[in-house]
Structure 1
């Protein structure tokens, strides 16, 4: 076995990793490659201090990137061994360490999910009125469980309760200029490489509150076309038993496994996370699941399958200069 991963394999692995979702598409990762070890670090220049002061959303994004990397490794014929947030005190920005070795033993599930990575996009368009089948719900629940998380499907009363919490969160934000300024920095307009361009915002909801998050901050974005969204959305809460940095990175891996499994089933997803940005509302969301733990994502599933994605930066931007 070579002492170093081939450069072409590193490009494939990191291109898959950075295709993962992150809050406002900030892509808050950087990577270091040494031999057959890839370290995933938090990029402190791309955090969101107003909307994500604890860095939880950034750690979730790193977990999602790590899962994509594991899937891509299987596609290239590597087995992976990994540790999440291995040194939380000594190196808090080191969120995952992945060791890759050629192997004849294949994880066919990860290899299959790797095929879905280019097709997974956050979809902020209205879904059709067809609810998810029970088989799909069970498959997505199992996908979360495989990475150590719980996916709880919400009943109609709980969906209404979530929308009430969305309203509460939005009202709190009205006078928070720091949050609005931070979002405007990353969302809207013509963007290449990172952030969320206006073309990916989707239509405005014709009623409020609705099970879609309107990220628009600019006047032109606030005046985009309105469309009705589904009256009975399929919402689920992704949670973990504990809430240490390791658990938050694991939640990101579970999130991406769920999203890729959904993509394979022809199901799209978007996020309704504004209540989770406030500690008291986050606890209320978790209580809706009927189980102890810590909520990390509120996910809306549907069937619209939009192909409007967001760009990513070149792989070289995520590596130290001497490795790029």
Structure 2
């Protein structure tokens, strides 16, 4: 059995007269097209990993994923709207707070992407910059998912000056046009996970670095890899931020709120960073991975040596306002999806970004890259575990 993204998996029922299942293959794990597959089921809109049995067969569509004739002109069903929001919500956010909400207007075929101000980090993100980055990443996933269905995502950032919580609108009224390059990123949406494990010291090839720079540049954001004295400066600033966080009550409160240890009062299982995603405690190496345990003991947690030469990429824009933050969030997710397709693992180095006096020195004054919005740790290592997401009934509102 071999398939391509966009083909359909048909599972016949062994019982006469029973309903068969049909799903679109949205991810292929092997280059030769053999199973398993990531399948979005038509009856629920959910994506699951499937190892097809003898009762399954492939229906080859004969056209690229998302280019079905007339897709852009056909109204979305509520199941399809919910599926797009599930894809969007696979985006990363600081401490996995998931600070977004979506409203879909059927008549206008229009999404509103809004900030959920009940899901902020008051001490670590007082200016809401990280909130905008996370929502920008969700916006990028929504654009990619829409393009995958054959619809052109016409996007406006901050369309209403009187409502700063309305971060973007996305209209899906036209067939796919100049954003067809986004379709190829779709398989990475549910394959991308933050990895807090050690990476190999294998250098990322220059050709791949160029591809990542181009991905950021497509969103009007610069990406640069820190090296030499600049890399050491970034590492030193991160260590300084980590030392401050250990004694800062506000930072500790944010971390405790969005993590859950066995001896704490249980919080929702659909948000935050669970202990299984903390990764090992760093024993050696220079990779500045945040310790989400915050010094608290975690039963059974291992220690490990991390890479001695971490590969850190900085995303920056000339300006530093909500529009820049949203563009940086979209660029961040576009880079991460591209990195996933290049078989790179990734995590976030945000500690110094949380302290205003440490954030500005992160920039490379030689390159003059402006305001740094995110530091990405990239490399070859194990993929991270899947972390929880809120159900769409908590994040989506469908209007006539």
Is TM more than 0.5 here? Answer: yes
Q: 2:373 aligns with which of 286, 289, 296?
A: 296
Larger-gyration structure (1/2): 2
Matched, 1:21 2:21: no
Query: Equivalent residues in 2 for 1:50-65 (5 A)?
Result: 50-65=123-138
Matched, 1:38 2:111: yes
Matched, 1:10 2:81: yes
Distance in 2, matches of 1:100 and 1:258, equals 24
Distance in 1, matches of 2:94 and 2:334, equals 17
Query: Equivalent residues in 2 for 1:23-102 (5 A)?
Result: 23-35=94-106, 36-87=109-160, 89-102=161-174
Select the structure that is richer in helix: 1
Q: Structure 1 residue 292: deviation in Å?
A: 4.1
Q: 1:312 aligns with which of 389, 396, 400?
A: 389
Contact 1:9 1:76 in 2 (8 A): no
Distance in 2, matches of 1:146 and 1:222, equals 44
Q: Relative to structure 1, is the Cα distance of residues 143 and 222 closer, same or farther in structure 2, using a 3 angstrom cutoff?
A: farther
Matched, 1:195 2:272: yes
Query: Equivalent residues in 2 for 1:172-183 (5 A)?
Result: 172-183=244-255
Distance in 1, matches of 2:195 and 2:102, equals 27
Q: 1:214 aligns with which of 286, 291, 308?
A: 291
Name the structure 1 match of 2:61: none
Distance in 1, matches of 2:348 and 2:285, equals 16
Q: Relative to structure 1, is the Cα distance of residues 4 and 287 closer, same or farther in structure 2, using a 3 angstrom cutoff?
A: same
Contact 1:154 1:289 in 2 (8 A): no
Distance in 2, matches of 1:222 and 1:147, equals 43
Aligned-partner SS, 1:298: strand
Unaligned runs of 5+ in 1: none
Q: Structure 1 residue 220: deviation in Å?
A: 2.5
The normalised TM-score by structure 2 is 0.76
Two-structure CA RMSD over aligned residues (Å): 2.1
Relative contact order, higher structure (CA 8 A, sep 6+): 1
Aligned-partner SS, 2:130: helix
Select the structure that is richer in strand: 2
Q: Structure 1 residue 117: deviation in Å?
A: 0.3
Aligned-partner SS, 2:385: coil
Matched, 1:269 2:341: no
Q: Structure 1 residue 40: deviation in Å?
A: 0.5
Q: 1:287 aligns with which of 348, 364, 379?
A: 364
Distance in 2, matches of 1:151 and 1:53, equals 25
Aligned-partner SS, 1:220: coil
Q: Relative to structure 1, is the Cα distance of residues 251 and 42 closer, same or farther in structure 2, using a 3 angstrom cutoff?
A: same
Contact 2:158 2:164 in 1 (8 A): yes
Aligned residue pairs, count:
322
Q: Structure 1 residue 216: deviation in Å?
A: 1.4
Distance in 1, matches of 2:338 and 2:209, equals 11
Q: Structure 1 residue 2: deviation in Å?
A: 7.3
Distance in 2, matches of 1:289 and 1:267, equals 28
Matched, 1:155 2:227: yes
Contact 2:137 2:332 in 1 (8 A): yes
Unaligned runs of 5+ in 2: 1-71, 263-267
Q: Relative to structure 1, is the Cα distance of residues 323 and 295 closer, same or farther in structure 2, using a 3 angstrom cutoff?
A: same
Contact 2:277 2:385 in 1 (8 A): yes
